[in-house]
Structure 1
Amino acid sequence: MKRVIAGVAIAILLLVALGFVLLPGILESNINRVAEHEPYEVSEAAQALHDRLMVVDLHADTLLWARDPLERGSRGHVDVPRLAEGNVTLQVFSAVTKVPYDQQYTGTSGNSDIITLLSVVQRWPARTRGSLLERALFQAERLKDAEARAPEKLMIVRSATDLERLIERRNGGSYPVGGLLAIEGAHPLEGKLENIERLRDAGYRMMGVTHFFDNELSGSLHGLSGEGLTAFGREAIREMERLGIVIDLAHASPAAVRDTLDIATRPVVVSHTGIHGACDSPRNIEDDLMKQIADAGGLVGIGYWKGAACGTSPADIVKSIRYAIDFLGVDHVALGSDYDGAVPVAFDTSELAALTAEMQRTKFTEEEIAKVMGGNAIRFFRENLNES
């Protein structure tokens, strides 16, 4: 009988261990989907143009998932090999630290958290269980580890000088993908101003004010209060600017956007969004605020999911881009995919030439294409990252 019990116990342990190995992949395969599709038609001329571009994406949540970013994945949307296939010069990697179970575009509270369970399933270090700061630090460590293992393939960009070095390497025949670290909402500050500098020391150069719920800094676009910046939020904005951290207003409440624009001395970004006039969705803030962001020198990244663009095809995304160019001005529009952000999409990062082809097909000028696909973002980071 003891042998039988021992055998059953071992079988249970093996099943549990197998579950921990398989469950992360099963979860992500169901969340970060790419719709089945025939290969997109990309003419030789469109591909040649795409291959000459500097392509930049302002938002992907890849570091959240249990995949080696250096290996080409069979799930999800982004990894270094697929970035290279899509001719991406710079990918902004955003760290997600808390996501409520009741995540909705309106009326979301912060009283629950999916990432705690995900951190257990994916076997993150124990220090990440109860600390949003440690979750952000761990995700930065993941990118730094990837760079250390393959510096010829991945280069972390922390300064304007690093960005120039990246471009020089690519122009010289070496083609590393650049990675810039960002925070999806300033929740890992945990109410402490000094954590901004700690996150900067860890490599973060862009920081969102909020994510899906209200926090110590402000109300969220999707939260309960609708409030603007708190006193702590105003201090945090000033400290981010002092340290040369780019402020991201994706997910911020309209009141928080206005308050930030009132006190910001440097341009801001909305890293992943849609334009309300092109897609009347509660995920997209009103056009007049987008125009104020652009008029202040800011940059707006157009997302690839239905809630942002009212569709997911290259044609849907390009339609939103066209509206954004016409409304905001061509110098203020960029790509902001929200890849690996629990959104279904119609193409992954290896297929970005499909956007170039669709823009070419719909009579965008080459200047418009080059600016939107990455030229504007390169200019923005050149001007707004610290020199070193």
Structure 2
Amino acid sequence: MKHLLLSLALAASVLLSGCDRISSEVEKQQNGVISHLPFVIAPEAQHLHDRLIIGDWHADTTLWERDISQRGETGHGDLVRYLEGNVALQMFTTVTKSPSGQNYQSNSNDSFDNITALAIAQGWPVNSWQNLTERALYQASKLHQLAEKQPEQFMLVRNQQELKRLLDKREQGQKILGGLIGTEGSHALEGDLTNIERLYQAGFRMMSLQHFFDNRLGGSLHGTSNAGLSELGAQAIREMERLGIMIDVSHSSPQVVEDVLALTQSPLIISHTGLYGHCQTHRNISDELMHRIAERGGIIGIGFWDAAVCDASPKGIVKAISYGIDLLGVEHIALGSDFDGAVVTPFDASELAVLTHEMLKAGFSSDDIRAVMGGNMVRFLQQHLPVN
């Protein structure tokens, strides 16, 4: 997430202007798409793309108060655009806390929390205004409602049986999106470990530990402490493992990543990131740590925005993917768009075929394209989702 330019005055103006208009205007400022002419996709690329199982590890679509069953005029993704892009699996991450003046270098815990203002401005339930667990649950409820409203086009994936059901439907030619639910930082726990099981029961199957603030579980990559994993954080990891929740160390401090690697043998996820050796920004942790995550069987989702890849163009994203393959091996590289995460991207979800096109142009084999575009995600989920 980058600068959510909201204020309490904006939130108060809901009373005069209406939630929908404010939400739309704010999102237009935050979730941009770089202006471009329609992409020209080579026929062989489109043919391959249409036959891929495509999966993405990170999108903040549920943060915004728009009907995600309909094609939107703002943001990067909704059910229509995900299906147009042939996405089969999308991890929807719930954002619960984000600092005013947000930056990649250092954010104080004393900073005003933008999501409070956003929740009020968008007319979220009152119990979510001051409770971060309720914010996560409210965002997840949108996906449950979508699954009930349009079961032929959207289903939740919470275990291996549901994953198999989704893949069988796709194999039979049904255009359906499988949604997974994760957290964007464990601020959503409110420091209470019993909330891990509460979120699990609501369908959460991936939890990241930090976002832009340090929290009770440990230090953020963008916080002030540079701290490692706290004792509460270690207890949270053990509880996540007990339940079968996958652990995402996006936004975690290097010391937290070190501590998690020392604590658990479970493969880790970095759901949306770049690689420091390719793009030397404070958003990306070291290649050495990436090596250690990959050696443990982890998976790295390559982002689609400038601070992750330094060149937010289809060709630039493919260069980052290529660097990751050379560094870590193709089996560890996946997509981590950060769609709808208050970032500017070169395309929206409906235009994902341009990545297949650019990978073919760059000399990728069809097997490597299949792996990166979704095959690696499917394999990881088959291995690490609960059985039922």
TM-score, normalised with respect to structure 1? 0.95
Corresponding residue number in structure 2 for 1:183: 183
**Within 2, Cα distance between the matches of 1:280 and 1:117?**
32
C-alpha deviation, 1:346, in angstroms: 0.8
1:19-168 matches, within 5 Å, as 19-111=18-110, 112-168=112-168
Aligned to 2:71, what secondary structure does the other structure show?
A: coil
Instruction: Give the letter for the 1:231 counterpart.
Output: E
Corresponding residue number in structure 2 for 1:204: 204
1:63-89 alpha-carbon deviations (Å, 9 max, x no partner) = 000111110001100101001000001
Corresponding residue number in structure 1 for 2:224: 224
Aligned CA RMSD, in angstroms, stands at: 1.2
**Within 2, Cα distance between the matches of 1:344 and 1:173?**
32
TM-score, normalised with respect to structure 2? 0.95
Instruction: Give the letter for the 1:378 counterpart.
Output: V
Asked if the contact 1:102/1:109 (under 8 Å) is kept, the reply is: no
1:196-236 alpha-carbon deviations (Å, 9 max, x no partner) = 00000011000001000100101000000001100000010
Instruction: Give the letter for the 2:224 counterpart.
Output: L
C-alpha deviation, 1:265, in angstroms: 2.4
Aligned to 2:56, what secondary structure does the other structure show?
A: strand
| Corresponding pairs, count | 376
Q: 1:83 to 1:14 in 2, by over 3 A?
A: closer
**Within 2, Cα distance between the matches of 1:172 and 1:346?**
32
Corresponding residue number in structure 2 for 1:367: 367
1:229-268 alpha-carbon deviations (Å, 9 max, x no partner) = 0000001001101100000000000000010011112111
**Within 2, Cα distance between the matches of 1:46 and 1:17?**
49
Instruction: Give the letter for the 1:84 counterpart.
Output: L
Aligned to 1:238, what secondary structure does the other structure show?
A: helix
Instruction: Give the letter for the 2:24 counterpart.
Output: G
C-alpha deviation, 1:107, in angstroms: 1.1
**Within 2, Cα distance between the matches of 1:301 and 1:340?**
16
1:171-190 alpha-carbon deviations (Å, 9 max, x no partner) = 11222100000000000111
C-alpha deviation, 1:35, in angstroms: 1.2
1:312-359 alpha-carbon deviations (Å, 9 max, x no partner) = 110000000000000000100000000000001110010000000000
Instruction: Give the letter for the 2:68 counterpart.
Output: P
1:43-98 alpha-carbon deviations (Å, 9 max, x no partner) = 00000000111000100000000111110001100101001000001000000001
**Within 1, Cα distance between the matches of 2:28 and 2:264?**
40
1:243-254 matches, within 5 Å, as 243-254=243-254
Instruction: Give the letter for the 1:252 counterpart.
Output: S
**Within 2, Cα distance between the matches of 1:96 and 1:232?**
21
Corresponding residue number in structure 1 for 2:334: 334
Q: Which has the larger radius of gyration?
A: 1
Corresponding residue number in structure 2 for 1:290: 290
**Within 2, Cα distance between the matches of 1:196 and 1:257?**
20
Asked if the contact 2:20/2:65 (under 8 Å) is kept, the reply is: no
Asked if the contact 2:265/2:296 (under 8 Å) is kept, the reply is: no
**Within 2, Cα distance between the matches of 1:366 and 1:337?**
21
Aligned to 2:162, what secondary structure does the other structure show?
A: helix
Q: Which runs of 5 or more structure 1 residues have no equivalent in the other structure?
A: 1-12
Corresponding residue number in structure 1 for 2:260: 260
Corresponding residue number in structure 2 for 1:6: none
**Within 2, Cα distance between the matches of 1:21 and 1:191?**
32
Q: 1:284 to 1:152 in 2, by over 3 A?
A: same
C-alpha deviation, 1:21, in angstroms: 3.3
Aligned to 2:279, what secondary structure does the other structure show?
A: coil
Q: Which runs of 5 or more structure 2 residues have no equivalent in the other structure?
A: 1-11
C-alpha deviation, 1:14, in angstroms: 11
Instruction: Give the letter for the 2:141 counterpart.
Output: E
Asked if the contact 1:267/1:296 (under 8 Å) is kept, the reply is: yes
